[in-house]
Amino acid sequence: MTERDPMEPSAIQIQTRGVECDRTQIDRLRAQFRDTHHTFLPQLLEPYLVNFLLRRMENAQWETNIHPEIKEEHVLDDFPAQSLLDFAVNQPGFRQLIEEITNTGPLRRFKGRVYRMIPGKGHYDKWHTDVPHFQRLVGMTLNLSPEVFRGGLFMMRERESKRVLAEIANTGLGDALIFRITPALEHRVSDVEGDKAKTAFAGWFIADGVEFFEELRQDSEQYRAATSAGAATHKT
């Protein structure tokens, strides 16, 4: 089982003022991803952002999300928290760094959700590839668990041989793991054990569709146009 070295410095950090990067570590991350199909991004979210998310999640609503034969989990239903995460990880500077580390792209956007797996609630995640959906090239899971949980390992294996390549414990609050998505590889999250839940923001960098901020701009223009049209009709 692989665990992150707690003394490992942050190579990339998303902060309220933007994205900070230690360029001296990028070659190491690129080599690790090339050789093992995954790499850690320690302390990806600065503490201020993490604390905001923890406060939002404390009293938020959660909905049961079931994908037959793949997974069952709780999914966060909180617009401010989801919007913050979407905005943070879709910053062009961050997506460009992911392209550089993984040698994939162009990555148009990140699409994810905050999920929670609670011991004893029947939550599970089975082996899958994520390949049939959109053009998913790179996966990411960001730990948002306020307490250290047991189990809940990210596991990766070769699809044909079933040989397990990695069993990874990502338990550092605000730490992220990125991993390759390809038809040749499957992944899953093992069962969570004990009495602490696993909470994470997880999803995929995808190569199709409209770029995230371009979609926001289009939506804003459509809203302004509809508002103007409604005002003109009201006047007449």
**Burial class of 25 by CB neighbour count within 10 A (0 to 12, 13 to 18, 19+):** middle
The Cα 152–Cα 190 span in angstroms is 5
Window from 79-93, 123-137, 195-209 with minimum mean pLDDT: 123-137
Q: Report domain 10-231's class.
A: mainly beta
pLDDT for 5 equals 64
- CA dihedral sign of residues 196, 85, 219, 204: negative
Quote the longest CA-to-CA distance of the chain. 70
Phi and psi torsions of 95, nearest 5°: -60, -35
pLDDT at 207 over 70: yes
pLDDT at 62 over 90: yes
* CA 173 from centroid of its chain's CA atoms: 13
Q: Write out the two tokens for 93.
A: 């500077």
Q: How confident is the model at residue 71 (pLDDT cuts 50, 70, 90)?
A: very high
Q: How confident is the model at residue 221 (pLDDT cuts 50, 70, 90)?
A: confident
Residues 6+ away with beta carbon under 8 Å from 7: none
Report in angstroms the alpha-carbon separations of 120 from 115, 161, 220. Answer: 16, 31, 43
Summarised one tens digit per residue, pLDDT across range 97-153 is 999 999 998 999 999 999 999 999 999 999 999 886 658 999 999 999 999 999 999
In the sheet with 2-3, reading across from the earlier edge strand, the strands are 2-3, 164-169, 154-158, 185-189
What average pLDDT does the structure give for the chain?
92
**Burial class of 195 by CB neighbour count within 10 A (0 to 12, 13 to 18, 19+):** exposed
Whole-number percent of the chain with pLDDT over 70: 92
